Structure 1
Amino acid sequence: MTRQRGDLPGIYGEVDFTVTPERLDQNATIDDERFAATRDAVRRVFDRPELLETMRNATMTGDRIADAYAALIPEHGFRALVEMLEAACEHGVDSVENAPRELVDLISAMENTPAWVDMELVEQGARTERIPMATATPLAIRGAFLATFLNKYAALPMTMTGTLSDEAAAKRVFETASFFTATTMPGALQRSGKGFEAAAKVRLMHSMVRYHILNSGQWDVATYGIPIPQADQMPAGLIGVFLMSAQLLRKGQTDFTPEQRASVELSRYRCFLLGLPKDLLGETPQEIVDLLIARHVSLREGYDDETCGALVRGTMDADLFDTSSITGRLHAWLENGFSKFVLIKSFLGGDTARAASIGITFGPAEKMAAGVAAGTVALKTMFYRFGLRLPLVDGYVDARLNRRLAKLLDMYGHADFVTDADRYKLH
């Protein structure tokens, strides 16, 4: 953690790594009201103080390897860095004339798959995850995206990078959906695959944000820690397997099924490609839940309308779909209800009153839409699951599923995974 200042003075030279930022809730106790619904899980974390220390370090840690590449912005310009990264991913780093050492290091780090990753399981997980990406994700992604805006300490970088407009919010929602969907396509996570390249570009985007924000002189490390730290990338990469793990533990199950284990391995590998270390990536249901609960315990509660409310409203107001046709209007209606249902059920503890207080209405129309959407997702999921198991039609269903994902990627549009520094709102 502290090495960042010496290794990357162009980004972290002014950061005091001895400070404990306000966002780290050092006064949290097992009896806090905010832990009422998760008391047993929180108790496990307080019984393991090393987990909270891991979260403290992860709150002050960026991405040393990608940050080093982003620190070349003054020399090369951001667009040139993106183009060199794309060329290195598509044609190999040797194809980049006078490739900077930092680019070579980034690509090499991503190519060097650690021994704790089982690539056979990763491929199995990708095949399995195609189904929810084709059925639930198009209707749920906005709700999951909104969950990242519920805490001002974690959400502020999104505000500062100009993500409040409807257009920018829609772009970020679709880029998120595009990344996770692309990584489930056949061969996408192989070295030459589009999923590998997308992960590299996401890493560079995050590092570029850190570079600009920390060089603005207007980011308060003592309050917010490091922008987009490892601790805030965990939920994005692991929220699905966290919810699955928590559900298993509630049922008294302590192990994954083989299919679930493959999905977990896919998530762990994606997180590795995005720069997260092994100690933030659990293997068992209990390990995964403990790590994400430790992050929850360490993150001080904080919601303000200027930061969080503006992001929520901007994202909810964004027109994600073409409503000029009956099909488009139907899809938009289903998505509106289902995404709100996902947000409220999975991230707000079912508290519709709290949802209303932040501008998320969930009335009879939304409930009806959510119910219809849930039924539609269930039927499509059943079709794909059973179809892939039937010898005579499995090839047809497999090809149809891949075509569905390709169509969704086309709908999401080209994902640049970049932000425009000229639009930053540095307060």
Structure 2
Amino acid sequence: MDRQQPLPATQTSTPPTSLIRLEEARQRFGDQKVQLLIELMYTGDTLADAVIKELEELGFEARAKLNSGIKEGLEVVEQPSPAIQAFLQQVESYPAWVDKERLQRGSEAFLSVGNVWLTFSLGPGSLTHTYSSPSIAQVLVKTGNLTTMAQRRLLETGAWNVSSILPGGLLRGADGYATNLQVRLLHARVRQTLLRHNWDQQALGTPINQVEMTRTWLDFTYVPFNALHKFGITFSEPEISDMYHFWQYIAYLLGIDERLYRDIVDQASAQEILELIDNTTEGTNQDSQVLVRAMLDAVTAILQPTLKLPSSIIFDLVSAITHHLHGNRLADQLAIKKTWISALMPVITLINRVQRAWNRRSPVARRCFIDRTVTAFLQIPPLQGSTTYQRNVTEPTQQELPKALVQQAE
């Protein structure tokens, strides 16, 4: 099919029909923020989109240069093509606002949570909210990755998350740095592929647009921070500030528009933007339910070797945590059942509060806890085969949506 052309500027000022309650949003959040929301619903990622087009046109040589640049820097790339040069120049330039000491503190604050609770915050916390967006759910179901290959895709998301938060992970050329660039280019690949297949921009905006990327970014910041708080894992104001600074740099690497995240410095400012997005978005649909169920099954399988409990009990635990984190209304919309373990939530919260209080009183205990988390992450067996985001920039260009490898049974 022919590539769908970008909408004219006159049409991009008209809200996508999927946006709802806009007048109410204007009264609550102001006309300027709502107009920015509308504009960015039609906005992708110019630099990354241009790279994908060059890879399609130039083939193997361009892919080789791109991968060298991601791993070793633009300076090693001989005669880079224009789009690759512009992309690497952008990501290799630290924004003036980046403070490397705060990046380190933000990483350590995140690692102080522990590997098991980071897994809970990623699946039941972050991804449940991500999948509740009907437009995001539609994109994910179209790829088939998160229904037929849920565990593999969850592991790939976890690998991105872990590589980012490990000490030094975001330094140029480090695994987290490279992974974020690969994820950004995967978004561009999916975006362009969907536009070739009669994606309805007037209804949904551009696929994987700036608003959806920001919503997902909030699903890895505000949502898990809030979720962990509900289970007694709290953060001080300086910790929260450093964690948002850390994730702002990730947003920069992922190509998110600064107008959406630079003013988000704490839970209150994050909540305002997320409520603006949520309140103008349609509710969950059948795709959301399918994705969430697949995710709960995948988290259960991933945690089983660590928790060493029967799968049925772990599934009930994961379901109870998800229900507790998101409340009855959203949980019911997503068909997440209540389980007997829900009665244990106050006990689990108390245990976390005691552990957290001890770590706060003892810097040595906190350091040991962080080191144990790092060790646990470093001991995770490497994934079999390359990830979807790695193959997107290494293998021959295909016009179909990228697929994850099937996760083999352990």
Is 1:389 the equivalent of 2:357?
no
Are the equivalent residues in 2 in contact too, given 1:203–1:274 (CA < 8 A)?
yes
In 2, the alpha carbon distance for the partners of 1:412 and 1:367 equals 35
Q: 1:231 and 1:326, CA in 2 relative to 1: closer, same or farther beyond 3 A?
A: closer
> Match for residue 16 of structure 2?
21
Letter in structure 2 aligned against 1:13: Q
> Match for residue 279 of structure 1?
259
> Match for residue 277 of structure 2?
295
Instruction: Show CA shifts across 1:107-160 (max 9, x none).
Output: 211111212232221111011111225231223322221321213223211111
Deviates more, 1:10-19 or 1:141-150: 10-19
In 2, the alpha carbon distance for the partners of 1:362 and 1:104 equals 52
In 1, the alpha carbon distance for the partners of 2:4 and 2:355 equals 48
Is 1:177 the equivalent of 2:158?
yes
Letter in structure 2 aligned against 1:367: S
Instruction: Show CA shifts across 1:9-40 (max 9, x none).
Output: x966343441421122255527xxxxxxxxxx
Residue 215 of structure 1 deviates from its aligned partner by 1.5
> Match for residue 63 of structure 1?
45
Instruction: Show CA shifts across 1:179-227 (max 9, x none).
Output: 12211111111112111111100100000001111012x2111111110
In 2, the alpha carbon distance for the partners of 1:314 and 1:421 equals 26
Are the equivalent residues in 2 in contact too, given 1:85–1:201 (CA < 8 A)?
no
TM-score, with structure 1 as normaliser:
0.77
TM-score, with structure 2 as normaliser:
0.80
Is 1:343 the equivalent of 2:348?
no
Is 1:231 the equivalent of 2:211?
yes
In 2, the alpha carbon distance for the partners of 1:208 and 1:112 equals 23
In 2, the alpha carbon distance for the partners of 1:389 and 1:279 equals 37
In 2, the alpha carbon distance for the partners of 1:398 and 1:317 equals 28
Identity rate of aligned residues, in percent?
Answer: 20
How many residues align? The count is: 386
In 2, the alpha carbon distance for the partners of 1:422 and 1:264 equals 35
> Match for residue 267 of structure 1?
247
In 1, the alpha carbon distance for the partners of 2:172 and 2:22 equals 45
1:404 to 367, 372, 376: 376
Letter in structure 1 aligned against 2:165: T
**RMSD in angstroms over aligned alpha carbons?**
3.8
Is 1:367 the equivalent of 2:342?
yes
> Match for residue 408 of structure 2?
none
Residue 326 of structure 1 deviates from its aligned partner by 7.0
Residue 270 of structure 1 deviates from its aligned partner by 0.9
Are the equivalent residues in 1 in contact too, given 2:321–2:342 (CA < 8 A)?
no
Residue 405 of structure 1 deviates from its aligned partner by 1.9
In 2, the alpha carbon distance for the partners of 1:170 and 1:235 equals 22
Are the equivalent residues in 2 in contact too, given 1:336–1:369 (CA < 8 A)?
no
Q: 1:368 and 1:267, CA in 2 relative to 1: closer, same or farther beyond 3 A?
A: same
Structure 2: 5+ residue runs without aligned partners?
228-234, 393-397, 404-410
Letter in structure 1 aligned against 2:339: G
Are the equivalent residues in 2 in contact too, given 1:125–1:259 (CA < 8 A)?
yes
Letter in structure 2 aligned against 1:406: L
Structure 1: 5+ residue runs without aligned partners?
1-9, 31-42, 248-254
In 2, the alpha carbon distance for the partners of 1:312 and 1:185 equals 27
SS at match of 1:360: coil
Is 1:221 the equivalent of 2:227?
no
> Match for residue 141 of structure 2?
159
Residue 275 of structure 1 deviates from its aligned partner by 0.8
SS at match of 2:309: helix
